[in-house]
A and B are shown apart, each in its own frame.
Chain A
Amino acid sequence: MESEVSETPIYTPYHPRWYRARVSTYWWSRRWAYLKFILRELSSIFVAYFVVLTLLQIRALTQGPDAYARFQERLKAPVLVALNALAFFFVLFHAVTWFNLAPKAMNLRMRGKRVPDLLIVLPNYVAWLAISTVVAWLLLR
């Protein structure tokens, strides 16, 4: 009988030789759930970007009306409009996924039973909507 063992000299009979698959650098591209996760992680960069932008805006505000007008003018650059639109999308994505994950991190129990997920998610959305309405009213009145 021809020996199949000789093809792989590393193999020692009756000793395991495990195969370990390498994890690809692009593991996150294989499944939609993984991609969504990576996009969510990425969204934190845009959240940070908005924080910096807001700080710059406040600085411009403290420097007087001229500085603020110049700041607003600069924001009108097409590149910045595109960047802000993208950042807005990511911040929205971050907020929505955050609220949807909230019930997982909480173990609220009332009268011995677990509070349903919807009851944890809903107040978050209501608060978000209420605060956004107040902000919109302050800006647009």
Chain B
Amino acid sequence: MAEMITLEVARYRPEREREPTFQTYEVPFRKDWVVLDALNYIKDRLDGSLSYRWSCRMGVCGSCGMMVDGEPKLTCATFLSDYMPGPVRVEPLSYFPVVRDLVIEMTDFMVKLKSVKPWIVREEEKPTSEGEYLQTPDQLDAYKQFSMCINCMLCYAACPVYALDPQFIGPAAIALAQRYNRDSRDQGSEERLDLLSQHEGIWACTFVGECTKVCPKNVDPAGAIQQYKLTSTKEWFKSFLMPWRAK
């Protein structure tokens, strides 16, 4: 008989129960299987009622983030073999409201993400006839790391500050704000400053550093936030010493 592994999967069926419970499934263990493969096996063969999000299976889309044995993980990149002999506990991402089973409600993140204007802001667009905005490899390198973010929200599920203070803009949104602040083509850093310099912006962060550790794309949101604290402080001193330069 093929080797099996036990999955303890969090179930929440709002029409039936008031809080989540765990359901145990036995799935075949295969060396090349990730947790998402096991969930798909359950969905296809054992229990079609299990709900979860997934799409690309290759760590690009950022939709299959879940807690695996209490750690935020992309389930498409988390091998069952690392959890042998099991059981493996699969839960929805922490600190987000649960809609059903492993599906979380992410509107809060989407609103926060939009609030930092994660796009190139120009005071004036130059006409297309003048060609594209050019950038040197060094200028690209200045923000490239932060641009790797896939909005998977693992960093939020690792952040106790977000858990305790849901107003906190959070790691990914701030890292993405920095991605555009550091872009040589962008002129919107001043527009982002007010929002990011609030308490709910960078200053709520107490530098636990877990966001950086769980990031599957090595974005380093913790670094982005600490570096922005320095920028924000410098801007504050500038406006304090030279109030006539304030906007």
Residues of A within 8 A of B (CB): 4-5, 7-8, 11, 13, 16-21, 23, 27-28, 30-31, 33-34, 37, 41, 101, 104-107, 109, 112-114
Is B54 part of the contact surface with A, judged by Cβ < 8 Å? no
- Chain B residues contacting A37 (CB-CB under 8 Å) are 160, 206, 208-209
Interface size class of B (residues with CB under 8 A): 35 or more
CB-CB nearest in chain A for B16: A4
Q: How far is the CA of A96 from the CA of B105 in the complex (A)?
A: 39
The answer to whether B16 touches A8 (Cβ under 8 A) is yes
The answer to whether B208 touches A34 (Cβ under 8 A) is yes
- Chain B residues contacting A18 (CB-CB under 8 Å) are 14, 97-99, 105
- Chain B residues contacting A113 (CB-CB under 8 Å) are 138, 141
CB distance from B144 to the nearest CB of A (A): 11
CB-CB nearest in chain B for A14: B15
Question: Beyond the given A19-B12, A37-B160, could you list 14 further A-B residue pairs with CB under 8 A, ordered by the A residue number?
Answer: A8-B17, A18-B98, A21-B94, A27-B163, A31-B70, A34-B160, A104-B207, A104-B212, A104-B222, A104-B227, A105-B226, A105-B230, A112-B137, A112-B138
Is B118 part of the contact surface with A, judged by Cβ < 8 Å? no
The answer to whether B17 touches A33 (Cβ under 8 A) is no
- Chain A residues contacting B207 (CB-CB under 8 Å) are 101, 104
CB distance from B93 to the nearest CB of A (A): 11
- Chain B residues contacting A31 (CB-CB under 8 Å) are 70, 210
Q: How far is the CA of A11 from the CA of B105 in the complex (A)?
A: 17
CB-CB nearest in chain A for B94: A21
CB distance from B20 to the nearest CB of A (A): 6
The answer to whether B15 touches A13 (Cβ under 8 A) is yes
The answer to whether A20 touches B223 (Cβ under 8 A) is no
Q: How far is the CA of A30 from the CA of B227 in the complex (A)?
A: 28
The answer to whether A8 touches B97 (Cβ under 8 A) is no
The answer to whether A105 touches B223 (Cβ under 8 A) is yes
Is B114 part of the contact surface with A, judged by Cβ < 8 Å? no
Indicate with 1 or 0, residue by residue over B145-189, a CB within 8 angstroms of chain A CB atoms: 000000000000000100110000000000000000000000000
CB-CB nearest in chain A for B97: A18
Question: CB within 8 A of A104: which of B14, B70, B220?
Answer: B220
Is B32 part of the contact surface with A, judged by Cβ < 8 Å? no
Those 10 A-B pairs whose CB atoms lie nearest each other, nearest first: A112-B138, A18-B97, A105-B226, A17-B14, A19-B98, A104-B223, A37-B208, A23-B163, A107-B227, A20-B97
The answer to whether A30 touches B14 (Cβ under 8 A) is no
- Chain A residues contacting B43 (CB-CB under 8 Å) are none
- Chain B residues contacting A5 (CB-CB under 8 Å) are 15
